[in-house]
């Protein structure tokens, strides 16, 4: 070896320069909790030394790849934001996140899971889907680590991180009732998805709490997409006694609903009050501003990363954790007293 060849820094060198124990550096590199003061000096030492972890050796020793798969229906606002935040959370642990879009197609989901399993990813993070239950059960039985978000797959041995769908939906619909609305409709997602069912239940909780009837004709089927929201709003406002307020259960359906309203000169909130699950940047620049349930992609990513790293560090905890993350209600100008 040439005398001018620079010796590669080791974890021992990092520990010595940072003035901490080797075990503390190891915990940092594996994404485990350490003191913020230790984190700062370790990161500084890594930068000063140009330390590069030998991931090939680590993978061979631990039979890991340091790759996490993330399966999403599509890279929409919510899923893309969560992917971005999760990537940022896992990057300091030396892990990369690879995404796969399955378009809610059973065959595509099966192929995606097979791809990740065959490439021996450390784990798969995915929106739980009923159509994938048997495929998921088979892969989990074969040792694939799975963390579910957004929707559940009941009975699956997996950890879960969900938003408080029912509670948050109840709160935003209660806001409509407290403004004086008696005719409140919902544009719902799919009932077979746990998030869809929970948001419907939250809507119903709010109506019951204010002694308002659950009218079958006030349930619009939006199927989670823009075209479904468009058609559902059209049908609701074509009723002999149309609603004075509508709760749309995700932002894609809300976009479709707003498009129908604009095309038919229905003004929010003058002619109709509208609230949405999911807060997106477009809601803040809407002329009225759209009141919405704001899921925090940062908090969800933090929780998923925490559960995932604990799971990878201790396989005995597999499938034993369910975290529910509270959402905020962002009040804007899209809902008002119907008498005004």
pLDDT > 90 fraction of the chain, expressed in percent and rounded:
64
Q: Higher-confidence residue: 218 or 49?
A: 218
Report the 10 Å Cβ neighbour count for 313. Answer: 12
Same domain for 28 and 109?
A: no
Residue 65's pLDDT band, with cuts at 50, 70 and 90, is confident
What is the predicted pLDDT for the residue at 1?
Answer: 39
User: Is it the case that residue 2 has pLDDT exceeding 50?
Assistant: no
User: Is it the case that residue 162 has pLDDT exceeding 80?
Assistant: yes
Same domain for 175 and 156?
A: no
If you average pLDDT over each of 92-106, 169-183, 303-317, which comes out highest?
Answer: 169-183
- Return mean pLDDT, the chain: 89
Q: State pLDDT tens for residues 270-325.
A: 999 999 999 999 999 999 999 999 999 999 999 999 999 888 876 555 557 899 99
Which residues does 44 contact at the CB level (< 8 Å), separation at least 6?
A: 18
CATH number where 36 lies: 1.10.260.40
Closest by CA position to 170, among listed 216, 215, 201: 201
Structure tokens at 21: 């124990």
Contact indicator for 330, 279 with CB cutoff of 8 Å: yes
What is the predicted pLDDT for the residue at 64?
Answer: 65
Same domain for 178 and 151?
A: no
Same domain for 207 and 98?
A: no
* Exposure of 238 in the CB half-sphere (CA atoms within 13 A): 9
Q: State pLDDT tens for residues 196-246.
A: 999 999 999 999 999 999 999 999 999 999 999 999 999 999 999 999 999
Residue 75's pLDDT band, with cuts at 50, 70 and 90, is confident
What is the predicted pLDDT for the residue at 206?
Answer: 98
User: Distance between alpha carbon 6 and the CA centroid of its chain, in Å?
Assistant: 44
Same domain for 138 and 257?
A: no
Residue 58's pLDDT band, with cuts at 50, 70 and 90, is very low
Same domain for 193 and 256?
A: yes
Same domain for 154 and 216?
A: no
N- to C-terminal Cα separation, the chain: 83
Same domain for 158 and 303?
A: yes
Q: Higher-confidence residue: 45 or 218?
A: 218
Q: Higher-confidence residue: 163 or 314?
A: 163
Same domain for 234 and 267?
A: yes
In a domain, 1, yes or no: no
Same domain for 37 and 118?
A: no
Please state, in angstroms and rounded to a whole number, the distance separating the CA atoms of residues 244 and 257: 14
User: Is it the case that residue 4 has pLDDT exceeding 80?
Assistant: no
What is the predicted pLDDT for the residue at 31?
Answer: 64
What is the predicted pLDDT for the residue at 120?
Answer: 86
Same domain for 159 and 302?
A: yes
What is the C-alpha radius of gyration for the chain, rounded to an integer number of angstroms? 24
Residue 5's pLDDT band, with cuts at 50, 70 and 90, is very low
In a domain, 89, yes or no: yes
User: What average pLDDT does the segment 31-59 reach?
Assistant: 74
CATH number where 178 lies: 3.40.50.2300
Q: Domain range holding 169?
A: 165-294
Same domain for 187 and 202?
A: yes
Sheet arrangement for strand 291-294: 219-221, 184-188, 245-248, 273-277, 291-294, 328-330
Please state the domain count of the chain: 3
Q: State pLDDT tens for residues 103-156.
A: 888 889 989 999 998 888 999 999 988 788 888 998 898 889 999 999 999 989
């Amino acid at each position: 070896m040439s005398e001018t060849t620079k010796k590669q820094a080791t974890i021992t060198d990092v520990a010595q320069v940072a003035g901490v124990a080797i075990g503390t550096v190891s915990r940092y590199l594996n994404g485990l909790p350490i003191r913020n003061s230790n984190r700062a000096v370790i990161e500084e030492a890594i930068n000063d030394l140009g330390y590069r972890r030998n991931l090939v050796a680590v993978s061979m020793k631990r039979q890991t790849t340091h790759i996490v798969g993330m399966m999403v229906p599509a890279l929409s606002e919510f899923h893309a934001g969560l992917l971005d935040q999760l990537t940022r959370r896992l990057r300091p642990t030396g892990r990369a996140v690879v995404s796969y879009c399955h378009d809610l197609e059973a065959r595509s989901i099966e192929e995606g899971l097979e791809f990740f399993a065959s490439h021996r990813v450390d784990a798969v993070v995915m929106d739980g889907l009923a159509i994938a239950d048997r495929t998921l059960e088979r892969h989990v039985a074969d040792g694939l680590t799975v963390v579910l978000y957004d929707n559940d797959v009941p009975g699956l041995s997996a950890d879960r991180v969900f938003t408080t769908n029912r509670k948050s939906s109840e709160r935003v619909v209660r806001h409509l009732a407290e403004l004086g609305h008696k005719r409140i409709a919902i544009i719902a997602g799919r009932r077979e998805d746990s998030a869809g069912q929970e948001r419907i239940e939250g809507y119903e909780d709010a109506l019951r709490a204010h002694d308002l009837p659950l009218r079958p004709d006030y349930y619009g089927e939006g199927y989670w997409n823009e075209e479904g929201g468009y058609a559902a709003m059209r049908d609701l406002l074509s009723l002999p006694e149309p609603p004075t307020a509508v709760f749309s259960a995700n932002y894609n359906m809300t976009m479709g609903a707003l498009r129908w309203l604009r095309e038919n000169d229905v003004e929010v909130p003058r002619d109709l009050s509208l609230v949405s699950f999911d807060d997106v940047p477009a809601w803040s620049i809407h002329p009225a501003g759209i009141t919405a349930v704001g899921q925090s992609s940062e908090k969800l990513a933090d929780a998923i990363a925490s559960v995932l790293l604990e799971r990878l560090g201790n396989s005995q905890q597999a499938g034993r954790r369910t975290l529910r993350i509270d959402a905020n209600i962002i009040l804007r100008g899209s809902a008002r007293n119907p008498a005004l």
